[in-house]
Amino acid sequence: MAGLAAIDLADQLALADSLADAAGAVIRRYFRSKIAVDDKADASPVTIADREAEAAMRRLIEARVPAHGILGEEYGEARIGADWVWVLDPIDGTKSFISGVPLFGTLIALLHQGVPVLGVIDQPISGERWRGSAGAPTTLNGAPIRTRPCGDIATASLFATAPDMFAGSDAVAFRRLQSRVKLSRFGSDCYAYGLVAAGFIDCVVEACLKPYDYCAMGPIIEGAGGKTSDWQGKPLGLASDGRVVCAGDPALHETILTVLDS
Amino acid sequence: MAGLAAIDLADQLALADSLADAAGAVIRRYFRSKIAVDDKADASPVTIADREAEAAMRRLIEARVPAHGILGEEYGEARIGADWVWVLDPIDGTKSFISGVPLFGTLIALLHQGVPVLGVIDQPISGERWRGSAGAPTTLNGAPIRTRPCGDIATASLFATAPDMFAGSDAVAFRRLQSRVKLSRFGSDCYAYGLVAAGFIDCVVEACLKPYDYCAMGPIIEGAGGKTSDWQGKPLGLASDGRVVCAGDPALHETILTVLDS
């Protein structure tokens, strides 16, 4: 990503902040209120807040950078072949959202020619916003953050959203990984990636993710000193298979790939 | 518990608030700071914050109600045969605490002749405090709350702290229960009981709990309209076996007992 550091992303970061502000205003209105919840085909709950928050973000993109593409969880794609594509998940962690748990988040990524160059995780209830962009240090509420070193996998803390996200041989590989770490924990959604970036936990390993679940994570984690990839070690992009390894210490990332593959 | 409603618990509730305030002040000082973490015999991490927070609560009890007994997670028991016994868990969810996840809580229970009559769950980062006491409505930050009805287990949301808290036949029973509900979720510690009390989720089923993990829950859940017991349906007390069923709707509680036992 050496060349990308030369791109000035200040305007895009400002727009990403506006998107997160707009989504957060919608989400705070609905969190812990009694609203209708229906089921999508994949059985994940989706709420009115989800749709309204994405619509608010799309309106801002259409108004300010109408040539940019958009891929959103709720309303699909527009101009997906553009040089710049925004990838939006208004509420990552809808199960947490509908359960009143403030660990969901709004995920915003910007891809340049297919490469994620900007990522935002926004938790609108706790008021925490992680921002990462190519060539700049990742911040949490404006303050630079760093991942922590973890030279020995036996001391690592591992997070994932749910044990049932792993099927077949993936489940076997994940259990093998669990047996090697010190502490594993479920139920955190996107918030766990923020915890890796800020140096409070060591790694997140997941499967069955969609591009809008993971595209924001690379810029955030890598700008804090960590590493993300798919389970084969390949960079994450729109065409990834949804299996993600994220580690605060690049050496731990390498070890995790080996354990998953062994 | 009909007779208990006649006991005036106002002084005890005020003291419980002081205990939670004192614990919270310690905990906020240490949350997300880099402190030493050691391992107890049972491998659950315990922090300096845990010990200092319990010490602060015990000092207040010794000063204000020196005849009352105390059972605490960190410093054991004192005058455990007294009519009134305080049961304290300074940080329930130490794994969440050390990972930077604000779903841990301070748990405070007061037992009268062995029966839990007062309970507090305090989350000192989000600033949420649940209070329950025999004969009075449960409150969240001072506002009365109610559980929600759940007449059909197929629509229920179920929480538990971790899948590995269930061993042997308990694990089989829990998986059977998971297969009957709409949504199950891990990683919430004591916070999940607060979500049941406030009507955002329907039930929590756990195992391997200690008295300081569950004694606060009965007064909180029952004062909000729900029901708690062990897996056999017996009331929770110091001698319970650590397996807990908590449901917002008493009819759902009954159904869960049947599913666990079938």
Q: What is the rounded distance in angstroms from the CA atom of residue A154 to the CA atom of residue A140?
A: 28
Which tokens sit at B35?
């402190």
Question: What phi, psi does B32 have (nearest 5°)?
Answer: 65, 15
Predicted confidence band at B194 (pLDDT cuts at 50, 70, 90)? Answer: very high
pTM above 0.80, yes or no: yes
- List B77's β-bridge partners, or say none: B71
Q: Does B102 touch chain A (CB under 8 A)?
A: yes
Q: Does A191 touch chain B (CB under 8 A)?
A: yes
pLDDT above 70 coverage of chain A, percent:
92
Q: Give the domains, in start order, of chain A with CATH numbers.
A: 10-144 (3.30.540.10), 153-261 (3.40.190.80)
Predicted confidence band at B262 (pLDDT cuts at 50, 70, 90)? Answer: confident
Closest residue in A to B100 (Cα–Cα): A200
A117-162 pLDDT, tens digit per residue, is 999 999 999 999 999 999 999 999 999 999 999 999 999 999 999 8
B239-255 pLDDT, tens digit per residue, is 999 999 999 999 999 99
What's residue B235's pLDDT?
96
Question: What phi, psi does B54 have (nearest 5°)?
Answer: -65, -40
B59-88 pLDDT, tens digit per residue, is 999 999 999 999 999 899 999 999 999 999
Q: Is A133 within 8 Å of A118 (Cβ atoms)?
A: yes
Q: Which residues contact B108 (CB under 8 A, 6 or more apart)?
A: B16, B19, B20, B57, B86, B87, B88, B118, B119, B120, B122, B216
**Which residues of A, range 42-71, sit inside 8 Å of B by Cβ?**
45
For residue B2, pLDDT over 50 is answered with no
Task: State the CB neighbour count (10 A cutoff) for residue A93.
Answer: 25
Task: State the CB neighbour count (10 A cutoff) for residue B141.
Answer: 10
For residue B115, pLDDT over 80 is answered with yes
What's residue A47's pLDDT?
75
B25-48 pLDDT, tens digit per residue, is 999 999 998 755 555 444 344 578
Mark yes or no for CB contact B102/A126 under 8 Å. Answer: yes
For residue B207, pLDDT over 80 is answered with yes
| pLDDT lower than 50: segments of chain A | 1-5, 40-45
Which candidate from B95, B185, B191 shows the least CB-CB separation from A185?
A: B95
For residue B100, pLDDT over 70 is answered with yes
Q: What angle do CA A173, A40, A175 make, to 5 degrees?
A: 10
